[in-house]
């Protein structure tokens, strides 16, 4: 059975209500020992206990309840109205409702609430309540406990901050952005308006980061993020994808596509002004830094495109903005995606050609002033799958853009040196010259220059 016992547990002469499990034959000494252990556990856990007499409408607290509510422990009693005033205004209704539900049931109820100190500090508490009948007076009362959840709440908030927000800029990260973007897509079925998704990349940031260091780069990113937060509408969401890439999700644009396009363009222009304003960072006040922004924009008004597709579209449009000279914005068009897909297909075909010997070299003879043969120039040709023999001007830019130019130059040099080394000695041709064209990109660094010189060792 369960027996409610009362005791004067602290110096304020308040009643401490405890419940002790008993069994037939338990002695009074055993009951007192169990009650003592329970009180020790409550003390160790810093749990506050309380009782509210439903007939007399009297509220009793122990000393820990006073501490949890920032009250002087010398206050022996506190009424319900005074306690309610300590509770955060947003939590008062829930706290009172929990007590009312507990008073009408024999089941335990609990809730979480915030209490305020006179200085405005906030403490998070968890409150349990249950209606019981007093063993002595046979009257009904609410008994319960409160304990401090502030540290747990702060740890949870910190974990959520790390999981959903970028630590440097305090903007939403990719995970939270995708969640909000998917919600925005889902809302398009019920709201008749356009939305815009803008992808922004800071031009010149890499140069600043590389020359002045990551600490300065981080300051610049944090400064720009602050400008974003202050400069956007309340309905918009700004997020950092990583590095110097940011995203803005604009909601509640016009239902008319032309007007929505103008609104998105206006927002993009404002973002460009925010990015272009001088950056006066700590420790370098005498020399402001400057950046610009390239922005890709895509509009959507239905759920036909997924979050990943919208990000891809904005990325394609941003790439076009960079190709257009940077410090500008571009709207996504289907022709952009089609062009990019064609380029990717050709890039894969060129990579296949490099690894499957589908390139050939043609040699253009060279003669000296007397008309004698003195060497040749190697000219690369691509025997594409369409049987067309493509000249260099048809694929060299593709090789540079797709990162294949070094592999292409290396192949040409090796094959030319091998072919040239196989020419048998000829009278009156003691010295022949071989001309090979290489990309200027492979002559700009010591690493690339050493890579180009390696094939020349094949010449004997």
The model's confidence at residue 177, banded by pLDDT at 50, 70 and 90, is very high
pLDDT (average), residues 311-315 = 94
Per-residue pLDDT at 267 exceeds 50:
yes
Range list of β-strands (E), 405-458: 433-436
12-26, 79-93, 420-434: which has the minimum mean pLDDT? 12-26
The model's confidence at residue 151, banded by pLDDT at 50, 70 and 90, is confident
Residue-level pLDDT at 124: 92
pLDDT: which is higher, 92 or 445: 92
Angle between helices 214-231 and 257-276 (to 10 degrees): 140
The model's confidence at residue 342, banded by pLDDT at 50, 70 and 90, is confident
CA-to-CA dists, residue 285 to 15, 103, 291, 315, 428, angstroms: 65, 65, 16, 34, 71
Give the best-scoring range by mean pLDDT among 117-121, 358-362, 423-427, 440-444: 358-362
pLDDT (average), residues 336-351 = 82
CA-CA distance, 356 to 114, in Å (whole number)?
Answer: 70
Per-residue pLDDT at 19 exceeds 70:
no
Q: How far apart are the first and last CA of the chain?
A: 103
* Core vs surface per residue 360-377: b (16+ CB within 10 A) or e: ebeeeeeeeeeeeeebbe
Looking up tokens 């853009």 gives 401
Query: For the segment 365-410, what is each residue's pLDDT rounded down to a tens digit?
Result: 888 888 777 888 888 888 766 666 677 777 888 888 888 888 888 8
Residue-level pLDDT at 264: 94
Query: For the segment 42-99, what is each residue's pLDDT rounded down to a tens digit?
Result: 776 678 888 898 888 888 888 888 888 888 766 556 788 888 888 999 999 999 899 8
CA-to-CA dists, residue 287 to 27, 186, 244, 367, 457, angstroms: 84, 47, 21, 58, 50
The model's confidence at residue 310, banded by pLDDT at 50, 70 and 90, is very high
CA-CA distance, 3 to 348, in Å (whole number)?
Answer: 80
Rounded to 5 degrees, what are φ and ψ at 43? -65, -45
Per the confidence metrics, is the pTM higher than 0.85? no
Cβ pair 95, 52 in contact under 8 A: no
Residue-level pLDDT at 275: 94
Q: CB within 8 A of 58, min separation 6: which ones?
A: 52, 77
Residue-level pLDDT at 17: 42
Q: What is the DSSP letter of 292?
A: E
Residue-level pLDDT at 76: 52
Give the best-scoring range by mean pLDDT among 4-13, 135-144, 389-398, 445-454: 135-144
Structurally, what CATH architecture does the domain formed by 165-332 represent? Answer: 2-Layer Sandwich (3.30)
CA-CA distance, 6 to 14, in Å (whole number)?
Answer: 10
Nearest to 364 by CA among 380, 347, 352, 376: 376
> What CATH superfamily classification does 341-458 receive?
EAL domain (3.20.20.450)
Nearest 5 degrees, angle CA 270-CA 271-CA 273?
A: 65
The model's confidence at residue 250, banded by pLDDT at 50, 70 and 90, is very high
Cβ pair 442, 451 in contact under 8 A: yes
Residue-level pLDDT at 453: 52
CA-CA distance, 130 to 112, in Å (whole number)?
Answer: 15
pLDDT: which is higher, 276 or 24: 276
High-pLDDT (> 90) share of the chain, %: 33
Q: What is the DSSP letter of 377?
A: E
Domain spans in the chain, listed from the N-terminal domain onward = 2-154, 165-332, 341-458
User: Which CATH code fits 2-154?
Assistant: 3.30.450.20
The model's confidence at residue 135, banded by pLDDT at 50, 70 and 90, is confident
CA-CA distance, 31 to 413, in Å (whole number)?
Answer: 95
pLDDT (average), residues 148-158 = 85
């Amino acid at each position: 059975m369960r027996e409610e016992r009362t005791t004067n547990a602290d110096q304020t002469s308040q009643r401490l209500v405890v419940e002790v499990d008993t069994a037939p034959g338990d002695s009074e000494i055993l009951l007192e020992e169990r009650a003592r252990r329970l009180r020790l556990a409550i003390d160790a856990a810093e749990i506050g206990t309380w009782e509210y007499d439903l007939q007399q409408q009297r509220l009793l607290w122990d000393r820990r309840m006073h501490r949890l509510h920032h009250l002087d422990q010398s206050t022996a009693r506190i009424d319900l109205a005074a306690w309610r005033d300590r509770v955060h205004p947003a939590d008062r209704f829930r706290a009172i409702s929990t007590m009312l539900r507990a008073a009408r049931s024999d089941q335990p109820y609990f809730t979480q609430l915030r209490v305020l100190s006179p200085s405005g500090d906030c403490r998070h508490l968890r409150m349990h309540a249950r209606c019981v009948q007093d063993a002595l007076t046979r009257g009904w009362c609410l008994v319960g406990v409160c304990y401090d959840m502030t540290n747990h709440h702060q740890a949870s908030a910190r974990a959520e901050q790390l999981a959903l927000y970028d630590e440097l800029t305090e903007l939403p990260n990719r995970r939270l952005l995708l969640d909000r973007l998917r919600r925005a897509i889902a809302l398009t079925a019920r709201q008749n308006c356009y939305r815009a998704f803008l992808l922004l990349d800071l031009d010149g940031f890499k140069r600043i980061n590389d020359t002045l260091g990551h600490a300065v780069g981080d300051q610049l990113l944090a400064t720009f993020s602050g400008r974003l937060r202050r400069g956007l509408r309340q309905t918009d969401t700004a997020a950092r994808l990583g590095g110097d890439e940011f995203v803005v999700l604009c909601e509640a644009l016009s239902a008319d596509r032309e007007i929505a396009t103008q609104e998105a363009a206006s927002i993009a222009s404002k973002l460009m002004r925010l990015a272009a304003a001088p950056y006066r960072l700590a420790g370098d006040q005498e020399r402001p830094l400057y950046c610009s922004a390239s922005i890709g924009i895509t509009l959507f008004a239905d759920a036909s495109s997924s979050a990943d597709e919208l990000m891809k579209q904005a990325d394609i449009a941003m790439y076009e903005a960079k190709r257009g000279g940077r410090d500008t914005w571009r709207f996504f068009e289907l022709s952009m995606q089609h062009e990019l897909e064609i380029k990717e297909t050709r890039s894969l075909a060129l990579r296949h050609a490099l690894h499957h010997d589908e390139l050939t070299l043609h040699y253009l003879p060279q003669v000296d002033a007397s008309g004698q043969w003195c060497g040749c120039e190697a000219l690369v040709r691509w025997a594409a799958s369409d049987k067309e023999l493509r000249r260099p001007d048809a694929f060299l830019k593709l090789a540079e853009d797709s990162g294949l130019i070094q592999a292409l130059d290396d192949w040409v040099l090796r094959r030319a040196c091998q072919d040239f080394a196989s020419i048998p000695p000829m009278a009156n041709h003691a010295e022949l010259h071989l001309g090979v064209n290489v990309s200027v990109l492979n002559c700009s660094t010591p690493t690339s220059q050493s890579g180009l010189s390696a094939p020349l060792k094949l010449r004997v």
